[in-house]
Structure 1
Amino acid sequence: MGDSANTKAVTNHGEPAMKGWLFKWTNYLKGYQRRWFVLQNGHLSYYRAENNGGVPTLSIRRRRRFKGNQAEMAHTCRGSISLHGALIHTVDACTFVISNGGTQTFHIKASSEVERQQWVTALELAKAKAIRNMESEDDEDQADEGSGSPEEWSSVVRELQGRLEDLQTCSELITKHGASLQRALGELEITVDPESAQGKSKIVGERATLFRIASNAMMNACSDYLQTAQMHGHKWTRLLQHEREQRQRLQEMVETLAQQHSRLEQAANAHAHRPNGPVSASEGEEEDENEFYDALAEGGNTPGSQPADGRFTLDIPRGGSHRRNSSDSSSETDETQETQQVVVVTGSTQSKSPSPDILTVASARGGLAGGKRQRRITVPEKPNYPLNLWNIMKNCIGKDLSKIPMPVNFSEPLSMLQRLTEDYEYAEILDVAARCTDPYEQLAHVAAFTISSYSTTSSRTGKPFNPLLGETYECDRTDDLGWRAISEQVSHHPPMVAQYCEGRTWKCWQEFTMTSKFRGKYLQVIPLGMAHVEFPSSGNKYSWRKVTTTVHNIIVGKLWVDQHGDMDITGKGKAVGIKCHLKYIPYSYFTRDSQRRVKGAVMDSLGNVKWIINGTWDDKVEIAPVIGSSGSVENPVYQTGPVTLAWKRRMPAPDADKFYGFTTLAAQLNEPEEGIAPTDSRLRPDQRLMEEGKWNEANTEKVRLEEKQRAARRQREAEAENAAIDGRPYTPYQPVWFVQIKEEDSDVISHVYNGGYWEAKEKQDWSRCPDIF
C-alpha cells in the first residue's frame, strides 16, 4: 500500500489541493495499481509517475526524447474526472469510489482509513468549490459583458509595445552604465595597487558582463513575444469580431422567432374563439402556414402496420453484445459493431387478437379500480397564461440549462419522480412475462414493457418539476394495479433519482440521471442510469439503459418529441448470456417506413435470433418466435410463428390537451393523499399551486424552495470546511431510503432501496425525513 506520508495537502494559490500515491482499480487481471493522484482546480487526475502540479517528473535526458518516444507517454496524465456533479462514495475503511454519473468511475484504495478520510474530505471540499464556481459564472459573465472587443485587444497590444519600449530604454541605460563602470574599473586598475585592483576589477567586470548578457536575453525574449503577438494579432481580431457578429445574429434571430411565436399564438387563440362556419380561402391558407404536422412520406405505412407481403428488415448487431473495456485510463468505449440486415417473414399477415393474459389483466384493472378508493380521472383544466418567450430565451444563450430558472409555464404539475412512476402504467406486461417459462419469450415481453414507457411522450411536451434533494414520492396501487413504488432524489449535483417498484411476481429498480444538450432548435436528453427487473420465481434478471429523447421546435412551432437510438437489454442471473437488441428509428421525412418505429430481436449467447419484436413506441408492439431461417449468412431471412400483441396503448381522452395531455394514471399521481411522508411530491407547494391554476404564486413559491435548497447546501459546505479545519471526519449527505452499494455482477455503484419506508408509513414515523418544503 501507498505510504500515507506521501499524501500532501497544499493550499497555495495555483498549487494542487491534494496529491499523493493511491491505488486505483484497473481490471480483473491487474487489480489495484499504484498511481500518483493530483487534486487541482476541481479535477482529480492520476499519473503513473510522481507529478508536480501537472508536470511529470522526468530527467533532462528523458525530457529531450519525450516528444518522439511513445513509451514516455505513460508518464503523462492517464485520466481525469471533474468533481462538479461527481458522486463520492465510501466502500469500506480504505476504499472509495468517484463517479460522474456513469461515463467515468474511479475505484480507489488508500493505505489506511485516515488517509482515505483525508482524501474524501478534500474531494468533498473541492466538489463544493467547483459547484460554487459554476454557479457564480453567470455573475462573472454579466460583469465581463462587452469585454474582448477588437479595440480592447488592440489597446492591449499597444500597451505591451509601450512597455517593451520602456524595457529597451532601461537596457540602453544598463549598457551605458555598464560601459562606464568597465572604463572606471580600467582606470582603477592603473591607479590602484595592481595586485589588489586586478582581482577586484576582474570579478566586477565578469559580473557586469553577465548582467549585460542577461539583459540582452531578456530583450530578445520580449522582442520575440511582441513579434508573435503582432503576427497573430490580426487573427485574434478577426476571430473576436466573428464571434461578436455571430452572437449578435443569434440574438436577433431569437428575438425574431420569439415575435413570430407570439403572433402565431395570437392567431391560434383568435382561431380557437372563432365561431364555427365556412372558412375563406385566404383564412385556410393562413391556417396552413401556422400549423405544423408530423408529415409521413407518400406510401408510408400507418404506425404499427406491416407491409403487405409480411416482410420487414431488421438490423441485428454482429459479434455479440457491447462490452465495456476496463482500462487504466478508465475510458469506457463500446466495441465497434457491425450490423447485418435481415428480412423477417411473419407467419401471418394479420396479428392475433390480444393475448388472453393481457385482456384478463385489463379487465381486472377495470373491475378493481375504485374498489377501495374512488380516484379522480382528471386534473383541473390548464389555464391559458401569456408568456414572453424573448425575456427567457435571451438569458439562455451560451448558458447551462441547469442554471436557468425556468418558470412553471413550461412545466406540467408533476415532478420527475412522478413522471418516472408512469413507466409502470403498463406493468401488466411484467405480470405476463413472469408467467413465461421460456426466458427468450420472457425477454420479448420485457422489451415490450420498456417500449411502453415512452407512449405518453408522443403527446406530452411539458417539463416535469425538478425534485429537491431529499424529495420522495410513493405510489401504492397494490389494491387495484398490483404494484407499489417509492422514489427519492438522492443527489442534486448531478441530479439523480433512485426508484424501487415491486409487484406480486416481479420487482424493478432504477437509478435515473441524465445529461442534456441544447442545440437551439431542439433539446436532447441522454439518460445515463440503468434500470433492472427481476423475477424471483425463475431467478431471471434483465438490465437496460433508456434511449435518447429529443424535443423539437423549442423556439418556434409545435413542440414534438422523438425517441431514437439503440437499447440493449441484457440477461443476468439465470438468464445470463441472452440479449435483446432494440433499435428506435429516428423520425425522418424521407423514409417510407412507419414513423416512431421500434424493431429488434432476442438472441441467445451465440447471437442466434429467437424472437422478433416489431411495432411503434406510441401505439403497439408485436412479438413472434423464430421457427426457421434461410438466405445467406450476411442477409438471413427469418420465418416467424404466430404473432402476439404484447402491448397496445390505451389512448387518452380526446380533450386531454386541456389537461396537460395526462392519462388517467398521470392524473391520479398528484392526487392528495393522507399519511404520506412530509417530503412527498404531492405536498410540494409550488407544484400544488400550479395544478390549481395559480401560476404566479407557484413561480414565487418555486423561487423560495430553490433558495431554501441552496441555503441548506451552503450549510453543509460550511460544516465540511469546519470539519476539515478541525481534522474531524465529515459524512456528506446521505439518502434516507436508498443506499449506495456495488452491484453483484458488475463494478457499478448504484443506489438500492434499503427498506423501511412502508414500515415507517404504517407507524407514521417520519423523523428521518428532512425539512425541504
Structure 2
Amino acid sequence: MNGDEEFFDAVTGFDSDNSSGEFSEASQRASGVADVDTRKSHGVGKAGEGPPQENGVQKHRTRLPAPTFTRSDFSLWGILKKCVGLELSKITMPVAFNEPLSFLQRLTEYMEHTALLHSAACQPRALERMQCVAAFAVSAVASQWERTGKPFNPLLGETYELVREDLGFRFISEQVSHHPPISAFYAEGLRQDFLFHGSIYPKLKFWGKSVEAEPRGTITLELLRHGEAYTWTNPTCCVHNVIIGKLWIEQYGTVEILNHRTGDKCVLHFKPRGLFGRELHRVEGHIQDKSKKKLFVIYGKWTECLWGVDPAEYEAFRRQERRGEPLRTAPSDAGSEQADGDAGDTVPEAPDAVQVIPGSKLLWRVNSRPPNSAQMYNFTSFTVTLNELQPGMEQTLAPTDCRLRPDIRSMENGDMDLASQEKERLEEKQRAARRERAKGDAEWRTRWFRQGRNPHTGAPDWLYAGGYFERDFSGCPDIY
C-alpha cells in the first residue's frame, strides 16, 4: 500500500452547576434523562413528531439502542505486536475496539460540567474564579473513567455540533487535519459569559502492555465579563492491560492553568498509580499568585470530587499526619460546601478514599452514572445523548455531522458487520478524495476553522472562523 492509499486511523480515543455538580444533574432531570427511550434506529419518535418535551424542556434519551459489544473474539496483540515504542498514527484498528462515538463527540464531553464555567463567570474574586476553572479542567477528564473503547477517528472535514439550552452552551468542532489528526473545537456560553476553544492532537504510543496518549494542543477559556483568559494542556492518559487482563485507565502529569490577566497559576499534579495503587486517580495542587505565593490548596480524585482548603489548614493537617497523630477528617461524601471542622471521627480513612481536611470547600463532584452504564460502554448520562437524532434534526444538521456517519450509527444499533463494512467504505472514499486532490494539486480547505496563533499564548492554533450557527452549509464536502 503506497502513501496515497494509506488511511491513518489514529487511536485518539485514549485521549486525547454549582461546584458540587447539583446543577448539572438537576438539568438532566429537567430534560428528561430519567425517562427511557428504547427506540432503536436513531433514538427518535415517529415521523412528523417534534423533539420530545417535558415542562417545555427538550428531553434526551437515557440509553443506547444496543448494549456494549463484547470484544472477546479479537486479538489486539496480533495488530500491535510490531508497534512497541512506536506512534500509533498508521495503525488501522478493527471496529470491534471502538465505542459508537466520533472523537469529535468525545471532545464535547468537556462540556458536561459547564455549570462550573457559569459559576466562574459570576465570581467576584480572581481566586474564586480560578477555583472554578481548576475544577472544570479536572471534570473534563472524569468521563474517561473506565472508558476503554476508542472513539472513531474523525474523517477529514467531519463536524459535530451540540446546542444545550438547558446547560447554557453551544459547541462546534471540525476535523481540520487528517495526518497528523487534529480536531478543533469552539464553544460559547448562551449567557454570553464564556468562550471555550482549542485544538487537540494527542500523540499515542504502544508500550507492550499499555497505550499512552501524550497531550498536544492548548485549551483556552475566556471569561468575557472579567476580560480574563486561561490556558492549559490536558494530562497524559494511559490505558493498561490492552493485551491481557482487565483494562484500566490512569491520568498522570502536571497541568498548569494560567490566568493571563492576573498572572495567577493553578498547578495540578495528576498522580500515577503508585505502590499498591494508593495514588490512583488522585489530584493534588495549588493556586499561586504571580509572585508564587500559595493562595489555595486543591486535592481530590479526578474520578470523584475535588476539594480546596487554605494552605495553613492543609499544612497543619499534613504535619499531624507525619507525626502519626489521630486525624480528624470530614466525611468525603459531605454534600455541604464547607466541611465542618468537628465532623467525622479520628479513624484514618481507607487508602483509596479522599481524606477531607476540616475547613475544606467542595469545588466539584462528578455526576452519578446511569445504573446500566456498564452495558453502554461505560457512558455517562451526558455521553449517552451525544449521538441521538431528534425528529427532524437530519434536515437541520450540517451534512458532515457525526450523527449522520453510517459506521458509527450501525455500531450504536448493534450491527457490527455493517459498521465494519461502512467504515471500510468511508476509508476508501477518503483515500479516493485525497488522490483526486493530489492529481489536481489542490489543497484541502477547512470550513469552520482557520490556522492562526492563539491570541493569548502566541502558539500555533486553530481558530473558529465563525458562521456555523448561521446554518449556511453550502460548500460542505461530501464525506459520507
- Whether TM-score is above 0.5 comes out as yes
SS in 1 for 2:105: helix
Q: 1:717 aligns with which of 435, 438, 441?
A: 438
The residue aligned with 1:600 is: 285
SS in 2 for 1:486: strand
Query: Structure 1 CA distance, aligned partners of 2:312 and 2:70?
Result: 55
Query: Structure 2 CA distance, aligned partners of 1:355 and 1:587?
Result: 30
The residue aligned with 1:416 is: 103
On the 8 A contact 2:7/2:427 being kept in 1, the answer is no
CA pair 646-390 structure 1, distance change in 2 beyond 3 A: closer
1:494 Cα offset (Å): 0.7
The residue aligned with 1:439 is: 126
1:363 Cα offset (Å): 3.3
The residue aligned with 2:462 is: 751
SS in 1 for 2:418: helix
Query: Structure 2 CA distance, aligned partners of 1:658 and 1:439?
Result: 42
Deviations 1:502-547 (A, max 9, x none): 1122110011011111111001001110001111101111000011
Q: Give the alignment of 1:701-716 within 5 angstroms.
A: 701-716=422-437
SS in 1 for 2:417: helix
Q: 2:421 aligns with which of 673, 692, 700?
A: 700
CA pair 641-434 structure 1, distance change in 2 beyond 3 A: farther
One-letter amino acid of the counterpart of residue 151, structure 2: P
The residue aligned with 1:521 is: 209
TM-score scaled to structure 2, two decimals? Answer: 0.78
CA pair 697-133 structure 1, distance change in 2 beyond 3 A: closer
The residue aligned with 1:656 is: 373
Query: Structure 2 CA distance, aligned partners of 1:441 and 1:697?
Result: 50
Query: Structure 1 CA distance, aligned partners of 2:73 and 2:313?
Result: 59
1:628 Cα offset (Å): 7.9
On the 8 A contact 1:488/1:498 being kept in 2, the answer is yes
SS in 2 for 1:670: coil
1:678 Cα offset (Å): 0.6
Deviations 1:35-54 (A, max 9, x none): xxxxxxxxxxxxxxxxxxxx
Query: Structure 2 CA distance, aligned partners of 1:357 and 1:388?
Result: 41
On the 8 A contact 1:534/1:542 being kept in 2, the answer is yes
Q: 2:175 aligns with which of 470, 480, 489?
A: 489
Deviations 1:416-456 (A, max 9, x none): 00001011111111111111111122112111111111212
1:663 Cα offset (Å): 1.2
On the 8 A contact 2:21/2:366 being kept in 1, the answer is no
Give the paired residue count: 403
Q: Give the alignment of 1:491-506 within 5 angstroms.
A: 491-503=177-189, 504=191, 505-506=193-194
SS in 2 for 1:607: coil
1:643 Cα offset (Å): 1.8
Q: 2:140 aligns with which of 453, 475, 480?
A: 453
1:582 Cα offset (Å): 0.5
CA pair 357-536 structure 1, distance change in 2 beyond 3 A: farther
The residue aligned with 1:680 is: 401
Q: Give the fraction of aligned pairs with identical amino acids, expressed as a percent.
A: 38
One-letter amino acid of the counterpart of residue 677, structure 1: A
Per residue, is there more helix in 1 or in 2? Answer: 1
On the 8 A contact 1:396/1:404 being kept in 2, the answer is no
Query: Structure 1 CA distance, aligned partners of 2:299 and 2:80?
Result: 43
On the 8 A contact 2:87/2:203 being kept in 1, the answer is no
Query: Structure 2 CA distance, aligned partners of 1:512 and 1:571?
Result: 20
On the 8 A contact 1:468/1:709 being kept in 2, the answer is yes
On the 8 A contact 2:97/2:149 being kept in 1, the answer is yes
| Structure with more relative contact order (C-alpha pairs < 8 Å, separation 6 or more) | 2
Query: Structure 1 CA distance, aligned partners of 2:198 and 2:243?
Result: 32
Q: Give the alignment of 1:490-639 within 5 angstroms.
A: 490-503=176-189, 504=191, 505-572=193-260, 574-575=261-262, 577-590=263-276, 593-626=278-311
On the 8 A contact 1:627/1:641 being kept in 2, the answer is no
One-letter amino acid of the counterpart of residue 755, structure 1: G
Unaligned regions of 5+ residues in structure 2, if any? Answer: 9-16, 33-53, 317-321, 323-340, 342-356
CA pair 362-660 structure 1, distance change in 2 beyond 3 A: closer
1:719 Cα offset (Å): 1.6
The residue aligned with 2:90 is: 403
SS in 2 for 1:389: coil
1:374 Cα offset (Å): 2.4
SS in 2 for 1:698: helix
The residue aligned with 2:3 is: 132
CA pair 357-517 structure 1, distance change in 2 beyond 3 A: closer
SS in 2 for 1:709: helix
Q: Does 1:737 align with 2:444?
A: no
CA pair 641-655 structure 1, distance change in 2 beyond 3 A: closer
Deviations 1:94-118 (A, max 9, x none): xxxxxxxxxxxxxxxxxxxxxxxxx
CA pair 556-628 structure 1, distance change in 2 beyond 3 A: closer
On the 8 A contact 1:500/1:510 being kept in 2, the answer is yes
The residue aligned with 2:29 is: 366
Deviations 1:630-676 (A, max 9, x none): 89xxxxx9x99942211111221333111111111111000014111
1:357 Cα offset (Å): 8.1
Deviations 1:602-627 (A, max 9, x none): 00011001111110000000122446
Q: 1:377 aligns with which of 52, 55, 62?
A: 62
1:745 Cα offset (Å): 3.4
